[in-house]
Amino acid sequence: MKKFNPRTPGRRQMILADFSSLSKVEPLKKLLKKISSRSGRNSAGRITVRHQGGGHKKLYRLVDFKQSFLNVPAKVEHLEYDPYRSAFIARIVYKTGERSYILAAHNLKVGDDVMTGEKAPLKNGNRLPLNKIPVGYQIFNVELSPNKGGQIARSAGSFVEVAALEGKFTHLKMPSGEIRKVLSSGFATLGKASNPENNLVVSGKAGRSRWLGIRPTVRGSVMNPVDHPYGGGEGRTQRGTKRPKDIWGNVTGGRRTRNKRKKSNLFIIQRRNKKK
């Protein structure tokens, strides 16, 4: 992590990730794509996700979550920053000359060798089928469905743990504490996602949040009664409602929101731990 001298009020509390390990190179042009910002709006133009908008211009990196070149060795050419995700990405070059972006594992360095396939060694950054990974190993970028690409544990520092192997299923312990079954034919990367100290970042000033496309969030307790269930009252008052609610009056605390008929409920062995 990188701390700053308090030369300005914004710098006084600021703590940012240390990018000194990243390569000082331009991103690969053929692996870039412009995605127009929707600012939290749906196809009808209505805001469905609040507090989004603005932000610095950025280009999307076409990250290969599948790593479909099986049993072909590759070398890490550069480690790069990705504005669309919290983890770092690695530019790799295969023995055939092909280049692609992958999610970088923690402690992966420029010049390291990576490989995808059943015969890949059990080494940090290599990608193997779940049935070839021993119990107790940490993995990330895990496939829920074979050949679909990694969907689980892709953010900075995240990982899941291989808890058991049972027939054609592998039991995975999620970061939340939930244990679920996943098809063993799916692939996963050994290790954990890079930039694990991302949770320690302190923006230091409101302006940096605006650069990231995050707009201000107003507390419900300081609104008027017409605008929020918590609004109104003289000075600082209590919530005024029996249960915690969102801006539309829906109960948010202490109620399970997962659909009881959801098909993937069959694969959940143990639900996540309750917050105390």
Q: Is residue 175 part of a domain?
A: yes
Q: Is residue 224 part of a domain?
A: no
Q: Is residue 111 part of a domain?
A: yes
With cut-offs at 50, 70 and 90, classify the pLDDT of residue 76. Answer: very high
Low-confidence winner among 47-51, 135-139, 271-275 (lowest mean pLDDT): 271-275
Q: What pTM value is reported for the model?
A: 0.88
Place of tokens 């089928």: 129
**Which of 127, 141, 126 lies closest to 182, judged by CA?**
141
With cut-offs at 50, 70 and 90, classify the pLDDT of residue 133. Answer: very high
Q: Is the predicted pLDDT of residue 84 greater than 80, yes or no?
A: yes
Q: How large is the average pLDDT for residues 115-137?
A: 92
Q: Is the predicted pLDDT of residue 276 greater than 80, yes or no?
A: no
CB 162 within 8 A of CB 184: no
With cut-offs at 50, 70 and 90, classify the pLDDT of residue 90. Answer: very high
Could you read off the pLDDT of 239-249 as tens digits, one per residue?
988 889 999 99
Q: Is residue 55 part of a domain?
A: yes
Place of tokens 């996943």: 182
Query: 132: domain range?
Result: 18-199
Q: Is the predicted pLDDT of residue 272 greater than 90, yes or no?
A: no
Q: Is residue 220 part of a domain?
A: no
Q: Where are the beta strands (DSSP E) in the chain?
A: 2-3, 15-16, 32-33, 60-61, 74-80, 89-94, 99-103, 113-114, 127-129, 138-140, 142-143, 150-152, 160-166, 169-173, 179-183, 187-190, 268-270
Q: Is residue 123 part of a domain?
A: yes
Q: Is the predicted pLDDT of residue 127 greater than 90, yes or no?
A: yes
How many structural domains does the chain have? 1
Low-confidence winner among 61-65, 165-169, 252-256 (lowest mean pLDDT): 252-256
With cut-offs at 50, 70 and 90, classify the pLDDT of residue 170. Answer: very high
Looking at residue 245, what DSSP letter applies?
B
Q: Is residue 122 part of a domain?
A: yes
With cut-offs at 50, 70 and 90, classify the pLDDT of residue 258. Answer: confident
Q: Is residue 273 part of a domain?
A: no
Place of tokens 């969102």: 246
CB 154 within 8 A of CB 88: no
% of the chain with per-residue pLDDT over 90 = 82
Looking at residue 138, what DSSP letter applies?
E
Q: Mean pLDDT, the chain, as a whole number? A: 92
CATH code of residue 33: 2.40.50.140
Q: Can you tell me whether residue 94 is helix, strand or coil?
A: strand
Q: Is the predicted pLDDT of residue 238 greater than 80, yes or no?
A: yes
